Amino acid sequence: MQSSGGDVIKLLVDVDYITDLAPIFQLLTTCQVPLIATTAGDRGLISQLLGPKFGGFLAYGSLEGVIPGLPTLTSLRQVYKIEHMNADTKVFGLISNPVGHSKGPLLHNPTFRYVGFNGIYVPMLVDDIKEFFRVYTSQDFAGFSVGIPHKEAAVACCDEVHPLAKSIGAVNTIVRRPTDGKLIGYNTDCEASITAIEDALRERHAANGQARATDTSPIAGKAFVLVGAGGAGRALAFGAKSRGARVFVFNRNFERAKALAEAVSGEAIRYEHLETFRPEEGMIFANASAVGMEPHTHKSPVSKGVLGAYELVFDAVYTPRNTRLLQEAAQAGATVVSGVEMFIRQALHQFRLFTSGLAPEEFMRKLVLEQF
């Protein structure tokens, strides 16, 4: 095509996996004439978002409606601002499947600009995380958030893993070290979720005039009922154990529940007993499953009738912000903690890792609350 003498070359390629895009980016950097290289389908979205970084002649955006793999013109202009991208822009993104629910781009991209950091954060629909990191080895790809269902598999993809993440067995943040390109794994979910729960309980106790020792966690000694044994569930379980809670794990796959319960000296109970499980009053309920996430907002991991046994209910789901579980828990008199608060706290830590310390908390918190 290049030898045909055309002024501009355009390629439209079908891709099955996000790893199929690597040759596209290579073509953009080596072509001797202006090149438009784009792909079709959800897994090709970053070809549009990152094309300008690698020298693409132009990028496409849809004027209206949802077209798989094609960002809207509004998002290109307002969220990603790709006109400011250049060859030195560092790429960050969420590795997940599904990935369309993520609010990460709405948080990280404006914050990059706010602190003057030359970076872009994009959604990455990844099927095989091991293959993804085998293909994307460039220093251009500087850091990653890790979402469902890759948090546990991500541990094996890292060259080094922070001790907390290693003990949990789940990584939700990966940074490529600039000096040698090695992948370093962290877990920012654990402290984010547990401190959000602790702070909410302290507020409840203070409002009720209940004096508590400041040097002990308000969840110490409590029954901590956890639904979900994936990456987020592991973070919650290890966090609860570290604070002295008694952890009970429910998961549709009972073997996974047993494995997690054994790791935190807790107890695994079959999922079908969740509705009748009530060893005491004033327990803590934590949903770390995807039940209730958009588009299935009508669902809840537990019925409203049993929520009266819980002093606090936490939901890791943050889309929507006020899930059916949280609505019904509030009606039952429980203190509720949205996954949005966990999202904010883990994102602050994550952003510091991405930028070597920068994290304007007030700006980021305001931005998240405006988006949800």
User: Are 6 and 32 in contact, with CB atoms under 8 Å apart?
Assistant: no
Strands 160-161 and 183-186: parallel
Assess whether 304 carries a catalytic annotation. no
Nearest to 37 by CA among 14, 2, 10: 10
Structural tokens at position 134: 């085998």
Long-range CB contact pairs, 200-205, < 8 A, 24+? 200/312, 200/335, 200/336, 200/337, 201/311, 201/312, 201/335, 203/335, 204/311, 204/312, 204/335
Among the listed residues 53, 90, 103, 151, the single catalytic one is 151
Write down the residue that tokens 């850091």 correspond to: 143
Cα-Cα end-to-end distance for the chain: 46
Nearest to 86 by CA among 160, 35, 29: 29
For 16, counting Cβ atoms within 10 Å of its Cβ (0-12 exposed, 13-18 middle, 19+ buried), the class is exposed
Catalytic residues: 151
